[in-house]
Amino acid sequence: SQQGEEDPQALSIQEGENATMNCSYKTSINNLQWYRQNSGRGLVHLILIRSNEREKHSGRLRVTLDTSKKSSSLLITASRAADTASYFCATVPVDSSYKLIFGSGTRLLVRP
């Protein structure tokens, strides 16, 4: 069963605005990852945050992790039309480190 749930399911913003996506999960994790999927294509790894980290940055991406609330957020700053895609969080459970459990994703549309 899916562990991660993302919110919102869909997000439409204007180019230049920031986009924030949230992810909640249910069990203890080793790490949490965010992936991007362009329509009908494969998933691309964006960023990984370990369970003992609270915030991580990579270019225009900022990820936060709150293990007490079992939640994470992905912020994309100064969005571009090319950021239009689906974004998935995925968790690696502590007791099953080979697993990568995906949420249902957030569809982001960035309007030019």
Among 42, 59, 68, 69, binds other proteins (CB under 8 A): 42
Q: Which stretch binds other proteins (CB under 8 A): 13-21, 56-64, 72-80, 87-95?
A: 87-95
**Residue 93 C-beta: closest distance to other proteins, Å:** 10
Dist CA 21 CA 24 (whole Å) = 10
From the number of C-beta atoms within 10 Å of its C-beta (0-12, 13-18, 19+), residue 1 rates as: exposed
Is residue 104 a contact residue for other proteins (CB under 8 A)?
A: yes
Residues at the site binding other proteins, with contacts judged by CB under 8 A: 1-2, 4, 30-31, 33, 35, 40-45, 48, 50, 88, 90, 92, 97-100, 102-105
